[in-house]
Structure 1
Amino acid sequence: MEKQWQYPHRRWNPLRRSWVMVSPHRTQRPWQGEVSKSAAPASLTYDPECYLCPGNKRAGGEANPDYDGVFSFVNDYAAVLPNPPASVDETSSPLLAAEPVQGICKVLCFHPDHSLTLAKMQRPDIRRVIDAWAAETEEIAAQDWIKHIQIFENRGAMMGASNPHPHCQIWATSHIPDEPAIETEAQQAYLAEHGSCLLCDYLAAERASGERIIVENDHFTAVVPWWAVWPFETMILSRRHCGLLPELKSDERDSLADILKRVTSRYDNLFDISFPYTMGFHQSPVDGAAHPEWHFHAHFYPPLLRSATVRKFMVGFEMLGMPQRDITPEDAAARLRALGE
């Protein structure tokens, strides 16, 4: 089946209701573009200059406690605030629309050890992070003006991470941001038309095929999506239909810790580096409405294409036309599947 995908074609992404173009023959073109430097992984278990290490003073002036596990705090330079001005300036045209946004921004440190990443952490330590994500989701969702909670990790300088200490961010907003709003509409439409969950049906199709599965365990499956845009993009799907992190049972949280470690370890082994990526969980909105359509999942968007120093750029046709990729998702999945953990 792989051979038939070696020519230009486009694939449908039902989760965004949009297309991605696949051009496998372009992998043969010579590369004379930018070659990035490969960032060395952090080697210190404690860095006295790090804003996130235990006991150190942060950029905002407050000192961290001597934490020995997971540690969270309100971002000193939050992108959204819980009590912004009640209105914004009026404009002369309805085409120049604006509205105030409320929100909460938090930072969550995974571990006191400055040198660790998810790939290097032990599963029990990752499980504690998952429990913290679930607890933060419950606590923040209790505020009735919050509509959506986005947990994400930018890993590596190439992805704009300002600090190598293992951490993620939690942005909760008074509106549902564009990407989860698009996924909400797509899942609602699919449920209305088919009477079943979009991602439950998609997962069943992927498991029947097996071509794009990287690894799975009792409760989660990691795949290179049929519609993947980034070269080694992956999606982690819950095998059980649920919408929010707090809904995960104890054994499911253990399985999520296992799958996160196994996927990130394979990433590191692909080009023998601490692999850069943006990772985030998409969970159902917390807007007070029922969301039977929503299926909990995580996206990994890594930028690397050919090596540790050659990355994929979203420019030209991608910015002006539509997303495009070179290597097929099947090839990317096969390469990741073949790696050790």
Structure 2
Amino acid sequence: MSEFRHNLITNEWVVVATERAKRPSDFVGSKTPKTIPEYSESCPFCPGNEQHTPPALYRYPAEGDWNIRVVPNKFAALKPTDSLERVQEGRYLKFGGFGYADVIIEAPLHNQTLGTLSEDNVLHVMKAYKARYDSLSADERVDLVTIFRNHGVRAGTSLEHPHSQIIATPLVPLRVRAQLEETQRYSANLGSCVFCDIMKEEKKDGRRLVLETDYFVAFEPYASRSPFETWILPKRHQSVFGAIHLNELKDMAHSVRTILGK
């Protein structure tokens, strides 16, 4: 059973999820790189092993052999059936682990990545992101939808098969709230968008520019927190991923594939 617990010191809510320890792993005892096959009989995400995952929430194409499948995370920290009712436990506060957790299986081949897939396949991954983003955002209990992808065991990946994840939560983490507050403060003080201003500065400077397309600008941020950190910002002033246009989605697929393929 999962639950959100309130930290009295930091005012953060953290998820306690013991079920996550039961999830399978391709990396137990693995310390050296290995050749990854196109198919793994033991992989729940490979074609023919669909019975090892929950039924698909989304798939492309709709019939026949699939290129992309989206399924609920079998070992999710969050579940849409859990309660949002807050419960006092001594001095502490908690509530059920409500939320959604999807897995986007990006390709049928076990040894692919977003950088090696065709641009058309990456576009369909982006379309799957948007479809699930729109669906999850429609739930009034959801305050934040997060799309993320880990690569390699050191980043937290437990399965080799190419996949991303989407989680939808009933609250916004402290770090994200702080970022939102800073962008609002910047706008109130200077009358402009901090992301638009950063993008203009990076285009003008050029030293950290990675890629510029019709709809996006990619660059290494001036104050990077880690090596190879890269931002991809839309040229159109828009903060909602669900509002992305098809031409922008195609351009985004091109940008992501190009950068990850370098």
Within the candidate set 56, 72, 75, 2:73 is matched to: 75
Indicate yes or no: 2:141 matched with 1:141.
Answer: no
Per the alignment, residue 104 of structure 2 pairs with 108
* 65-74 or 49-58, which deviates more: 65-74
Cα contact 1:51–1:57 (8 A) shared by 2: yes
Distance 1:109 1:227, change over 3 A: same
1:204, distance to aligned residue in structure 2 (A): 0.4
Indicate yes or no: 2:53 matched with 1:55.
Answer: no
Distance 1:38 1:58, change over 3 A: farther
- Deviations 1:61-111 (CA, angstroms, capped at 9, x unpaired): x58797522100111111111122454552333xx4434442011111111
Q: SS of the residue aligned with 2:140?
A: coil
Cα contact 2:143–2:170 (8 A) shared by 1: yes
Per the alignment, residue 39 of structure 2 pairs with 46
Per the alignment, residue 192 of structure 1 pairs with 188
1:200, distance to aligned residue in structure 2 (A): 0.4
Bigger RCO of structures 1 and 2 (CA < 8 A, at least 6 apart): 1
Cα contact 1:119–1:264 (8 A) shared by 2: yes
Cα contact 2:77–2:101 (8 A) shared by 1: yes
Cα contact 1:101–1:175 (8 A) shared by 2: no
Distance 1:243 1:113, change over 3 A: same
Counterpart code for 1:196: S
Distance, in Å, in 1 between the alignment partners of 2:97 and 2:39 is 37
Per the alignment, residue 239 of structure 2 pairs with 243
Q: SS of the residue aligned with 1:134?
A: helix
Distance, in Å, in 2 between the alignment partners of 1:39 and 1:85 is 42
Distance, in Å, in 2 between the alignment partners of 1:67 and 1:105 is 24
Per the alignment, residue 92 of structure 1 pairs with 90
Distance, in Å, in 2 between the alignment partners of 1:41 and 1:121 is 18
> Structure 1: where are the runs of 5+ without partners?
1-35, 267-341
Counterpart code for 1:48: E
Within the candidate set 125, 140, 163, 1:129 is matched to: 125
Q: What does residue range 258-297 of structure 1 map to in structure 2 within 5 Å? A: 258-266=254-262
Cα contact 1:109–1:168 (8 A) shared by 2: yes
Counterpart code for 1:156: G
Per the alignment, residue 115 of structure 2 pairs with 119
Cα contact 2:84–2:98 (8 A) shared by 1: no
Distance, in Å, in 2 between the alignment partners of 1:170 and 1:144 is 17
Q: SS of the residue aligned with 2:259?
A: helix
Cα contact 1:75–1:106 (8 A) shared by 2: yes
Distance 1:229 1:41, change over 3 A: farther
Q: SS of the residue aligned with 1:68?
A: coil
Cα contact 2:86–2:93 (8 A) shared by 1: no
Distance, in Å, in 1 between the alignment partners of 2:164 and 2:157 is 10
Distance, in Å, in 2 between the alignment partners of 1:41 and 1:218 is 37
1:41, distance to aligned residue in structure 2 (A): 5.1
Runs of 4+ in structure 1 deviating by more than 3 angstroms, as ranges, are 57-60, 62-67, 85-89, 96-101
Distance 1:58 1:189, change over 3 A: farther
1:40, distance to aligned residue in structure 2 (A): 3.0
Cα contact 1:151–1:169 (8 A) shared by 2: yes
1:155, distance to aligned residue in structure 2 (A): 0.8
1:164, distance to aligned residue in structure 2 (A): 0.9
1:56, distance to aligned residue in structure 2 (A): 0.5
> Structure 2: where are the runs of 5+ without partners?
1-29
Distance 1:253 1:63, change over 3 A: closer
Distance 1:58 1:235, change over 3 A: farther
1:136, distance to aligned residue in structure 2 (A): 0.6
Cα contact 1:71–1:110 (8 A) shared by 2: yes
Distance, in Å, in 1 between the alignment partners of 2:151 and 2:115 is 11
Q: What does residue range 180-259 of structure 1 map to in structure 2 within 5 Å? A: 180-259=176-255
Distance, in Å, in 2 between the alignment partners of 1:41 and 1:151 is 28
